Amino acid sequence: MLAIKIWNYLRGYVIIRIEGLTLEKFLNLVAQENIYIWDIRRIDYTIVEAKVSIEGFKSLRNIVRKVKCKVYAYEKRGLPFLMGKMKKRKMLGIGFIIFLGIIFFLTSFIWEIEILGNEKIDDTKIKNILKEENIYEGVLRYKIDEDNAKNVLLEKINTFSFVSIDIEGTKLIVEVKEQDIPPENISDDTPCNIVADKKGIIKKVIAKNGKSVVKEGDVVNKGQILITGIIKNDRFEGEMLVHAEGEVYAVTRYTHTVEEPIEKSIKEETGNSYEHREYKFGKKIIKFGSADIPFKEYIEEVEENNVFTIEPFNFPISIITHKYKEVEIKKVKQNVDSLKESCQVLAVKEINKVLPEDSKIVSKDVKYIENEDKLTTIVIIEVMENIGKKQIITY
């Protein structure tokens, strides 16, 4: 699609408007004469707009006479028309040629690397691996070996199950898929114990294989053996090692604390503002004028706009605007009852993020500690959950 647009621009085209009551007949004759027109759109019942090449526009004369429609050039676009204007302005023409040369030169480089699909591995690690393969922002596009880079990423990051590398204009897009790493499974013929995954108070033990060494009401710590896979054999005066199986349910505790000031500082805008601009070329930033901020208290907004973009090419030239808004700091005393409620909701929300899916809430306790300038909210939730996990027996 982009290649067709560039080709049409290079050879030049005309945006035409056809007026009359026989528009369908006109379009049928155009098709019969193999005259290529595109982007056809109806303006109203008697007017149609379309694009046609310079040669095609000249060929329309005979058809216009037959159908008695009115056709006129609405707009002329493309390199031939631009060059025609340039003949009268030589310096402008030279500048335009230099400009085109700069554009083609800049489009030969990769100016942005975008990483998609990564959640566990950060962008920096991926970009560092690519840099070792001479792929970085500012490298020539033709120097990039996409297949090799893909294989290197799969080899060095074993959690990737899929990697694709594509070049779109001046952007290199790396898309990855991360595989879920399942917990290490212990085979059924490997002797193991079941130990506590966390601290809790034992409520129920179901020992399917092995021997339970705890009972209801016992307080156990993380790592403590709950069901042992070492069974004493009185008959042979020795020990037998088995693969322990079972569930151990216990009451565990989750706590979260939220602290909030009772008297809160808020920033209120005064309406005064100050702007400062910087020019960015690649990674280099050039500052113009004074960057001194005339306000004691302020909030800053930063906006970066690309100066020159031709899809799909994105050139590393941009203007960074820093907008500073003057604010006044005001002290506001919050309603303590409302603050307690919002802090409790926040604490419960945080605890829910770490609760196991199969756990059942047994109790919830909320404590508030109110000082002169601060409210501390402590939420304690007790749940029933299976705390047993398998651990290989080693000597």
How many other C-beta atoms lie within 10 A of the C-beta of residue 26?
19
Give the model's pLDDT for residue 256: 96
Tokens of 236: 């042979």
Q: What is the pLDDT of residues 346-381, one digit of tens each?
A: 999 999 999 998 899 999 999 999 887 899 999 999
Give the model's pLDDT for residue 3: 62
pTM, entire model:
0.50
Which runs of E-coded beta strand occur in 159-209? 160-168, 171-178, 192-196, 200-209
Pairing of strands 171-178, 112-116: parallel
For the chain (395 residues), the mean pLDDT of every run of 10, in chain order, is 69 85 83 85 85 85 81 80 66 70 76 85 88 86 85 86 84 84 73 94 94 94 94 74 93 95 87 84 70 84 74 69 88 89 94 92 94 91 95 84
DSSP 248-293: EEEEEEEEEEEEEESEEEEEEEEEEEEEEEEEEETTEEEE-S----
Residue type (1 letter), 125 = K
Q: What is the pLDDT of residues 51-82, one digit of tens each?
A: 888 888 888 888 888 887 888 888 888 777 77
CA distance 379 to 357: 19
Give the model's pLDDT for residue 263: 86
Q: Where are the alpha helices (DSSP H) in the chain?
A: 2-11, 23-32, 54-59, 61-67, 79-86, 90-106, 123-132, 146-156, 336-352
Tokens of 180: 């879920």
Give the model's pLDDT for residue 282: 67
Taking alpha carbons only, the member of 81, 43, 35 closest to residue 60 is: 35
